[in-house]
Amino acid sequence: MIQLTATPASTLTDEPVHIRATGLCPSQIVIFQATLEDEKGNLFHSQAYYKASEVGEVDLDHAPSLGGDYIGVHPMGLFWSLKPEKFLTKLMKRDVMTSPFLVQIKLYDSNLPLAQIAATDPKVSVTLERWYRAPGVTRIQVQEGHLRGALFLPPGEGRFPGVIDLFADIGGLIEYRASLLASHGFAALALAYCDYEDLPLHPEKIELEYFEEAVNFLLRHPKVLGPGIGIVSISKGAEIGLSMAIHLKQVIATVLINGPNFVFSTPQVYRGQISQPLSFSPQLVSINALGLAQFQYCFEEARSKASETFFLPIEKAQGHFLFIVGEDDKSINSKAYAEQATEQLRRNGKDNWTLLSYPGAGHMLEPPYSPLCCASKLSKLHLFMQWGGEVTLHAAAQEHSWKEIQKFLKKHLIPVVTSQL
């Protein structure tokens, strides 16, 4: 009798699942398929072909996929290779507290062409829950002063190391990374800065005082461990994170994922001083065979001619940096910017940084097992903007970098004395 097991059945979305099938015919070729429906009803699928062993078993921890959405031994391949039915739809969990994503793992025991799977019943299937928060994590809507966002707290009395989570300037409030960080013991503030509640739709400038207010808010909170806080930031969020690290001495550990070492698009202001953006040369866009636009080199013309004043004075920051770079980032030239920033630190005699550079990883580095989104339609343009990344390498980078991020934050935010108690 064919049996399919996937354990644990209910997990945090950044934890692995062990998938096994038994009771097959020896050397039989089978298809594993994963299906997920997001909160808007979009369907995502992935599939892989496996060959059963001489005793009729397939253990995804050991067996190689022969073909499909990935090949080789990838125990979590079915998760990170999920692809949308609707072209380039990104998988994003909005409600991180009250519901998980349900992932159906299905087994087909005949050698079917993939196009026919949808019309066929699987031999056996199991459904898994993938949660974005651990049991006991609480969410508090934040509307203090100018601040807009959501604070996620781990269960228990605390105190917990505080982290501010910043995404790119696409607007709204993205919560899933903060809720996961809280599930790993951090007090994480998902901070919105545009197009959310009463925040401006398209701010004319980024006021660093807003982010300073957020740092003070977090440090004031009774469940937050001081005296400093950390930042996890990506893209435009990483530009802001870098400025925060430079100007605010309470920022002692900053994770910069695929971010620039200069201001782009919207200027920054702090205490009356304006940091002008580097100009963007849209004519340097490169559009690939499928019409996906690569903006990676659109700052190069300005960057090569820019005076030093355009580059953020990273040497002034007192805390530590973790640079996370996807070498295949097709939206901005992440590797070059991170290298220039670390070079600037080196020249100033600083060694307060680590650079993790991942070949084949793209712009959208997310928690582990998140499917690669290689391009998105930007609402401001009608183009598809390419993020880059090769599926398998990107997945490996997400797994590795997530562990490194947590290690880095814990190392710098939790005083050694305390952790020995």
Partner 1 sequence: MFQLTATPASALADEPVHIRVTGLPPLQIVTLTASLKDERGYVYQSKAFYKANEVGELDLMEAPSIGGDYVGVHPMGLFWSLKPEKVFRRLIKQDVMNSPFYVTLNLYDSVYVQVSTTDQPRASQTVQRWFSGPGVQRVQIQEGRVRGALFLPPGEGPFPGIMDLFGGRGGLVEFRASLLATHGFAVLALAYFGYEDLPKKLEEIDLEYFEEAANWLLAHPKIQKPGIGVISVSKGVEIALAMACFLKHVVATICINGPNAIYEFPLRYKDLVITPIPSFMERVQMDVLGAMRLRHYKGDARDELNQKSVLPIEKAQGAILFIVGDGDECMNSREYAEQALDQLRSHGRNNGRMLVYPGAGHLIEPPYTPLCYASPHRLGSGILLWGGDPVAHAAAQEHSWGEIQKFFREQLTQTRSKL
382 binds partner 1 (CB under 8 A): yes
Q: Annotate each residue in 290-329 with x if it binds partner 1 (CB under 8 A) or - if it does not, as one string.
A: xx-x------------------------------------
83 binds partner 1 (CB under 8 A): yes
43 binds partner 1 (CB under 8 A): no
Closest separation in Å from C-beta 311 to partner 1: 24
372 binds partner 1 (CB under 8 A): yes
379 binds partner 1 (CB under 8 A): no
Among 20, 16, 18, 6, which Cα is nearest to 52's?
20
35 binds partner 1 (CB under 8 A): no
**Of 81 and 370, which CB lies nearer to partner 1 in the complex structure?**
81
Return the residue of 212, 315, 390, 404 that touches partner 1, per CB under 8 A.
390
366 binds partner 1 (CB under 8 A): no
Give phi and psi for 391, each to the nearest 5.
-50, -50
Closest separation in Å from C-beta 56 to partner 1: 17
391 binds partner 1 (CB under 8 A): yes
**Of 196 and 280, which CB lies nearer to partner 1 in the complex structure?**
280
Return the residue of 22, 42, 51, 410 that touches partner 1, per CB under 8 A.
51
Return the residue of 289, 416, 417, 421 that touches partner 1, per CB under 8 A.
289
68 binds partner 1 (CB under 8 A): yes
Alpha-carbon span 40 to 89, nearest angstrom: 11
Find the part of the chain contacting partner 1 (CB under 8 A) among 198-206, 236-244, 311-319, 379-387. 379-387
69 binds partner 1 (CB under 8 A): yes
**Of 109 and 175, which CB lies nearer to partner 1 in the complex structure?**
109
Return the residue of 66, 73, 140, 274 that touches partner 1, per CB under 8 A.
66
73 binds partner 1 (CB under 8 A): no
Q: What residues are labeled active site? A: 235, 329, 363
Which residues contribute to the site for partner 1 (CB under 8 A)?
29, 31, 47, 49, 51, 66-69, 71, 81, 83, 87-88, 111-115, 282-291, 293, 372, 374, 381-383, 389-391
